[in-house]
Chain A
Amino acid sequence: MTKNKQTLTITIDGKKIAVEEGITILKAAEKAGIYIPHLCAYKDLIPHGSCRVCSVRVNGRIQASCVQTVSEGMVIESDTAELLEYRRMIVDMLFVEGNHFCMFCEKSGHCELQAMAYRFGITAPQFPYLNPNRDIDLSHPDVFLDHNRCILCGRCVRTSQELDHKNVFQFVNRGHKKRLEVNAKGLAETDLNVTDSVVNACPVGALMKKRVGYEVPIGNRPFDHASIGSEIEKTEGERK
């Protein structure tokens, strides 16, 4: 027997919003046209809470809005100078931790990490580059995995499991040694298919379809004219 969901009232950045119980702060904000920046949260996958870009203050405490569900009377702060600075630092660290060369990356203009940096006004990193030595797996006939660009968001791990019902990707090691691996010697030995949902799940240029790079001209790419999150921030009238 399903219980009727109750409607709760929460406040985000001073705006009172009526929301359904049980949903996350991130989803509730989206429904109300408020964009909370995020990277690892993706579609209806089970939230991961790993990138921390979506951190907000909930009744004074910092929480990841993609995993925290709403409760009555919650007071949430998102668009504050303090949180914006934290988010910038996180994005900045993601850039220097890998090898992100936007200038020739085929994901440029489509990349959520790059778009996030533009939205935050990041023009150059404030931390030193780590320049890790990472490889690229081109063994699969139709899909490639460039570890240089991986930000460990886990979208591929979860999409493969939850939507494709496969188990192509996994994390190995812990802490700063954590990395993405495929459950075989290389992508070619897995049951990954180019039509799998996971091929479109990567927010950056790590997991990509082969031989289609740069087909969309500059000027027509998703983030050439609209910043990330602007779709959510449109008023109801604009969305129609």
Chain B
Amino acid sequence: MGTRKYTILPVTRVEGHGKVTIHMNEANEVTEARLHIVEFRGFERFILGRPYWEVPVIVQRLCGICPVSHHLAAAKAMDRIVGGEDLTPTAEKMRRLMHYGQMFQSHALHFFHLSSPDLLFGTDGTALSAFDAPPEMRNILAVAGKFPELAVQGVMMRKYGQEVIKATAGKKIHGTGAIPGGINKNLSIEERDFLLKDIDKMIEWSKSAVKIAKDFTLGHVEELLPFGSFDSNHLSLVRKSDGALDLYDGVLRAVDKDGNRIVDDVDYQRYLEVVSEEVRSWSYMKFPFIKKLGHEQGWYRVGPLARLNTASFIPTPLAENERKEFKAVTNGKPNNVTMCYHWARMIELLHSIEMIQELLHDSDLQGTDLVTSGPRREETVGVLEAPRGTLFHHYRVDKNDAVVMANLIVSTTNNNEPMNQAVKRVAKDHFTGKSNITENLLNRIEVAIRAYDPCLSCATHALGKMPLVVELYDAGNSLLDSKIRE
């Protein structure tokens, strides 16, 4: 048998569309494995010439899952255009509430709707490994059939987060709350009381979600430790004063695989001094890296796992206790296990609902001082921690208010190389020596990609559809086998 190339198209249960190709030689060894993003969106181009105050509302259309991230990152950038980056307490807290609402709903969506079939059916004794759930069980409906209470919790938690967004942005999806220099509404007493009604239940459910992720991880340590895992750098924002986990604002920090700080306390207005992007011909998604380490060594992870590796602590008690347990597993060193993203994500879910609770009790949310402004600027960067990781928005605006330059480095783009590394690792570990690639093996690739909760449509700024395909090619590059999932 000659060399082969497998293609998985589309990769399922991720946001957007991706393709995986795996090349194998005559000896059935994996020689190359790649995640390709073949969507193209072009937001950076078509906002050119538009007035700057439209941008927070336009760019959130990149996505329907975490539009708030783009809405707020762009608003943070435009705050600086109008000189209004020192927001009023009401404006900043309303935006934070919106952001934590989004973090809560997005993390709940990913864990319960997209990933729980992988985690739940591998652990109930019906499957030999954590990844051997039968294909017909790997969906949210099967979860609802077997664990109805859990499925309801997942749906209701997502709904709760969406209600927080509606109360702050006017709509559950694609609202208008943040405007340059502030916010367009405060939180009414009625809205506050409506959200407080279910907060205790949400905290309890979030605690049990952390427990599910933790029990799954610790219960399958031997299998999960090597699965799609590799050492990497980690990057995120942390709170400026003390390095705490801060999802809305802060300074850039990056650590290496051992926890040494390679970037620290960097104002994100200077992000171009820290990160650069590499273009590769086979993907529409660019490959960012930390400049001083170069593109070979400088790539990094972002998102929940990276944030727990960079942050000094979590400023809410329940999530901080969970973080300590999480860190204890790696003796306080960075955690480089791909599958630990799930556990980290649920700790952030708990942190987000704790933050929502704290904010709901803050009377600043009923303030009426909503917008501020100062000296005008022409160039600006807005950065925040989106559910999937660090999100950079960079714009230039001319004196007539038109956007003349835009660069977006989206969370999933930051995780491009890590996802490719994960695919490569799983392919090498599980495909080598196999002449026949089964559905179950293909699912393992997807499980590794899903851990990163990629949003592929965001990351390529999508024109058209891209379903997941895996193709297998021989040494002469002729297609031997192909599996397609629409």
> Of B171, B174, B176, B400, which is within 8 A of A138 by CB?
B400
Interface size on B, residues (CB 8 A): 24
Q: Which chain A residue lies CB-closest to B53?
A: A213
Contact B184 A106 (CB under 8 A): no
Which of the 9-residue segments B54-62, B227-235, B257-265 touches chain A? B54-62
A147 to chain B, nearest CB (A): 12
A23 in contact (CB, < 8 A): no
Interface: A238 (CB within 8 A) = no
Give, as a whole number of angstroms, the nearest-CB distance from A100 to chain B.
14
> Which segment, of A68-76, A216-224, A225-233, faces chain B?
A216-224
Contact at A211–B53, with CB atoms within 8 Å? yes
Chain B residues whose C-beta falls within 8 Å of the C-beta of A81 in the assembled complex = none
Choose from A138, A139, A144, A216 the contact partner of B184 (Cβ within 8 Å).
A216
Indicate whether B185 reaches chain A with its CB closer than 8 angstroms. yes
Query: Is the pair B402, A138 in contact by a Cβ cutoff of 8 Å?
Result: yes
The minimal Cβ–Cβ distance linking A89 to chain B, given in whole angstroms, is 28
Determine if B134 is an interface residue (Cβ-Cβ < 8 Å): no
Q: Does B184 lie within 8 Å of A103, measured CB to CB?
A: no
Contact B170 A219 (CB under 8 A): yes
CB pair B57 A214 closer than 8 Å: yes
Q: Which residues of B contact A31 (CB under 8 A)?
A: none
Assess whether B51 is interfacial by the CB under 8 Å rule: yes
B residues 435-467 touching A (CB-CB < 8 Å): none
Tell me the count of chain A residues lying within 8 A, CB to CB, of chain B: 18
| Chain A residues positioned under 8 Å from B174 (CB to CB) | 103
If the complex has contacts A104-B54, A106-B53, are A217 and B177 also in contact, measured as CB distance less than 8 A?
A: yes
Given known pairs A214-B179, A218-B176, the reply for A136 and B401 (CB within 8 Å) is no
Q: Scan residues 301-343 of chain B and give those whose CB is less than 8 A from a CB of chain A.
A: none
Residues B179 and A215 in contact, CB atoms below 8 Å apart: yes
**Binary per-residue interface labels of chain A (102-144) against chain B in the complex, 1 for a CB within 8 Å, 0 otherwise:** 0110100000000000000000000000000001101100001
Inter-subunit contact A211/B401 (CB<8 Å): yes
B8 to chain A, nearest CB (A): 33
Cβ of A210 within 8 Å of any chain B Cβ, yes or no, is yes
Which A residues touch B58, using CB under 8 A?
Answer: 104
In the complex, the chain B residue whose C-beta lies closest to that of A101 is B58
The docked-state distance in angstroms from the alpha carbon of A45 to that of B439 is: 70
- B154 → chain A closest CB, angstroms: 27
Cβ A217 vs Cβ B54 within 8 A:
no
Which residues of A are found within 8 Å of B82, using beta-carbon distances?
211
* CB–CB B176/A217 < 8 A: yes
CB <8 Å contact, B170 and A217? yes
Q: Which of B51, B82, B169, B175 has the most A CB atoms < 10 Å from its CB? A: B51
Given A211-B53, A217-B184, decide whether A138 and B179 contact each other with a Cβ distance below 8 A.
Answer: no
Q: Is B433 an interface residue (CB 8 A)?
A: no
Fill in one digit per residue for B173-199: 1 if any A CB lies within 8 Å of its CB, else 0.
011110110001100000000000000
Give residues 176-231 of A contacting B (CB, 8 Å): 210-211, 213-220
B61 lies within 8 A of A103 (CB): yes
* In the complex, chain B residues whose CB is within 8 Å of the CB of A211: 53, 82, 180, 401
| Residues in chain A near residue B434, CB distance under 8 A | none
B374 on interface, CB distance cutoff 8 Å: no
Other 19 A-B pairs with CB < 8 A, given A104-B54, A213-B57, A214-B179? A104-B58, A104-B61, A136-B51, A138-B51, A144-B51, A211-B180, A213-B51, A213-B54, A214-B57, A214-B176, A217-B176, A217-B177, A217-B184, A217-B185, A218-B169, A218-B171, A218-B175, A219-B170, A220-B185
Chain B interfacial positions (CB closer than 8 Å to A)? 49-51, 53-54, 57-58, 61, 82, 169-171, 174-177, 179-180, 184-185, 371, 400-402
What are 8 A-B contacts with C-beta separation under 8 Å? A104-B57, A104-B61, A106-B53, A138-B400, A211-B180, A217-B176, A217-B177, A218-B171
